[in-house]
Every structure is written in structure tokens, then in C-alpha cells.
Amino acid sequence: MNKAFRNAIRDVFNDGGLIIFFLLVPLIYPLLYTFIYTNETVHEVPVAVVDADGSSMSREFLRRLDASPDVKIVSHERSLEEARTRVKHREAYGVVCIAEDFTRNIMRMEQAHVNLYCDMSGMLYYKAILSSATDVSLGMNADIKVSRAGNTTDREDEVTVQPLHYEQTALFNPQNGFAAFLIPAVLMIVIQQTLLLGVGMEAGTRRERMESTRQFPQTEEFTLDDRAMIETIGNEENGFAKKKHPRSPQPHHASRRALRTLLGRSTAFLMIYVPIAVFEMGVVPHLFDLPQIGNAWEILAFSLPYLLACILFAITLSVLPRNRESVILLVVFSSVPILFLSGVSWPGSAFPWYWKTLSYLIPSTFGVNGFVRLNTMGADLSAVRFEYFALWTQVLLYGLTAWWVTRKNELYKIDLKRFYRRWSKTRNKAS
């Protein structure tokens, strides 16, 4: 175990690529993502207007719309087609169209209409324009009702404007911001994906080093004599019954060696990622004033099974890539589906059963939901016991699969050493 621990630490800090994925990426990416979304909401979204009415009331509507913090009128067009051209060239992200009968309908005590066209390629633009136009129309509706009610006191005006008083409170995200909604989930996924990258590259490096240090020829480099020699050695190995050296690793030692190697490597990765998890789950939300009302000790207790599940999950998947570069393709391909399966961009309750079942195989599904509820919503550990015990279940399951993968590598290493040793002796005798 100590040897595996030392080797893992040595491999990480002696390899520039592993330092990038184990240390720099999990430290820089959260800051980069949060800087991008630090404004939380979009403001001053450019819109074009078509005022076919041209009355003082329509100009008042547009004045109030332009005065709102989320919308900025950038052009007045004569037709809807000209305004559409503005949107097409990304000079505006929406069009406000006031019909020519706007004031006349209001004076007749009929319903007037304001048409709103939004660029739906950006949902935040649509939200800003729609909410601003809705607020302006509600404000003008209140003024019209008060002017026609004939009230004599301010209290009567208040009741006319709002017969039923209500208050709207955004829970756990008071600014309705994008960063407070997305960044906590991204932080947890960054931990998992960088572990997949780092552990996969470390395993590929060990595999390549083991094969290259033996200087064993590639299959296509074998001569006819070498191929005959290899076949002879294989037959001899099958019936090899000589007494082995007591310190020489044998196939029946593989299970015990695999357990020691797995414990050593897992401990090394855990020691590296505990401070990284503290930085991402505690420091980053504090730096950018994201909602953070959870208990730090309970979050730390929740992070332990999450880190272990991610480490063992990464060791299990490290058997798939055959070299250190292949794991990058695997992680890049899976990052966006993993974000969707976490239930952040689309509620998990709306998933079909097969996607929901697949999401249960990924540690970030439980890690994201548990961390958001603990950190952002102020829940205690008992409120996330399903996610907590699910992560410990994954630790057990992926611990078994990681041990099987490590045992397979140990058997390969033992066979390669024995085969190379006998191949070298036979080759030297032949020469």
C-alpha cells in the first residue's frame, strides 16, 4: 500500500499533464466559469420598436420600457420587416410592436395589444424582454384603472391597483441569477471529470511505462524465429512446475497485490482532492457571493463519499482507454450528457426511466443534488440521506469493480514479467 501510494504521488507530481488535470484545471475552471456568469442576470438587452400608433400613450409605454434595467431600445423602425432585419444581424434581440389602434382601443375601454417578438436562441434575452414588457404593461394598467375609478383617497387608489396584496420571494436564489443556479452543479461535475481525466491519464502512463521499460518488441516486429520461440515459451509456461522464488510475484498473489495497490492509489488521489474539494465547495461560492447557507461540517461529511465514489469510478473506467490521450476524448464526450443527467438543466422527475436509471450510475447525479440542497438550500444531512447512502453504495460497488480492474492489471504485469524473463533467457541461449 505504501509503495502504491508513493508511486501514485510521484506519477502525479512528475507529470506535467497530470499536474494540469489534477491541480490547475479544478482550480482555474471554477473561477473562469463563475467569472463568466458573475453578473447573474443580463441587463440592457437591445430591442427594436415599431410604433405604428405614434401617440403620447404609446410613447409613454416605450419610455417606461427603455427606463427598465433589463431592456434598451436601440432603434425605432417603420415596419416589422425592418425590425426583423435588426434581429437577423444581431443588432437587437427582440422587437416591440405597438399597433396603430393602441390608444383608440384604450380610450374606448377596449383591450389594447402590444406584440412582442423575441430571439429564442438565448433564453436569458427572452426572459429579460418579456418580464420588462410585462411589468410596464401592468404598471400602465394600474394607472389607467386609478384614473377612471374616481377615487378620493390614496387608500382607495391602492385598493384599486392591488385588491389582493401579494409578495413574491425567490427562495435560495434571490436575484434569480444564472450563476447561483448553475455554478454549484458545475463545481461538483468539475471534480468528477478532472478525476476521470487525471486517473485515466495516470493509469495510461503506468501501462505505457510498464510496457516500454520491458523493451518488449511490438508484434509486427517479431521474426519467424521469435514467433516460434514465443509459442514454445507459451507451451512451457503451461506445464511449468519448477519451484518459484518466494519473493517472485505469482498469479495467486494478484488479488492481495491488487487490494494494496487500490488502497494506496485511492488514498493518494483522496489526499490530493480533499483541499481541491474544500476550495471548490467552500471558497469559490464565498468569493463570488453565491448563496451559501449550509453547515460546513455536514458538507464536508457529504463530500467524503462523493470523492471516494468519483475516485473508484475513475479507476474502474481507466481500463477503457489504452493510452493516456484516449481518456481525454472519453471525458470530453461525456461531460455535457453528465450535466444533463444530473437534473440541473432538466428536472430528473421528467426523465424517462432508462435515462433515470443511467443517471444513478454516475456519482455526480447524487453529488450535485445533495450539494445544492446542503449548500444553497440550507438542508441538513438527514434531508439528503438518499443521496448520501446512494454515494456510499457506489463506493462499495465501484470499489469492487476498481479492485477487479486493478487485479486484471496485476495479472497482466505478472504475466508480462514472467514471459519477458523466460523470453530473454531463451533468446540469449539461442544467440
Rg (CA), the chain: 32
41 and 175 in contact (C-beta within 8 Å)? yes
367 and 192 in contact (C-beta within 8 Å)? yes
17 or 253: which leads in pLDDT: 17
The H or E element containing residue 196 is helix 178-213
Question: Does 83 have pLDDT greater than 70?
Answer: yes
What average pLDDT does the segment 201-225 reach? 59
Output the CATH code of domain 45-161: 3.40.1710.10
Question: Does 196 have pLDDT greater than 80?
Answer: yes
C-alpha cell at 205: 502512463
pLDDT of residue 248: 52
- Residues 117, 96: Cα–Cα separation, whole Å: 7
Parts of the chain belonging to CATH 3.40.1710.10:
45-161
Question: Does 392 have pLDDT greater than 80?
Answer: yes
Confidence band of 195 (pLDDT split at 50, 70, 90):
very high
pLDDT of residue 62: 94
pLDDT of residue 319: 83
pLDDT of residue 374: 93
- Residues 70, 78: Cα–Cα separation, whole Å: 24
Residues whose CB falls within 8 Å of the CB of residue 92, separated by 6 or more in sequence, listed in order: 46, 47, 48, 74, 75, 83, 86
Question: Does 421 have pLDDT greater than 70?
Answer: no
Least confident of 66-75, 292-301, 323-332, 375-384: 323-332
Question: Does 418 have pLDDT greater than 80?
Answer: no
337-373 pLDDT, tens digit each: 898 899 888 888 888 999 999 999 999 999 999 999 9
292 and 285 in contact (C-beta within 8 Å)? yes
Least confident of 224-228, 297-301, 403-407, 422-426: 224-228
3-state SS assignment for residue 50:
strand
Confidence band of 416 (pLDDT split at 50, 70, 90):
low
Confidence band of 417 (pLDDT split at 50, 70, 90):
low
131-159 pLDDT, tens digit each: 999 999 999 988 888 888 888 788 888 88
- Residues 282, 307: Cα–Cα separation, whole Å: 15
In the chain, % of residues over pLDDT 90: 38
- Residues 112, 108: Cα–Cα separation, whole Å: 10
pLDDT of residue 221: 41
Mean pLDDT of the residues in the chain? 83
At 17, which amino acid appears? Answer: G
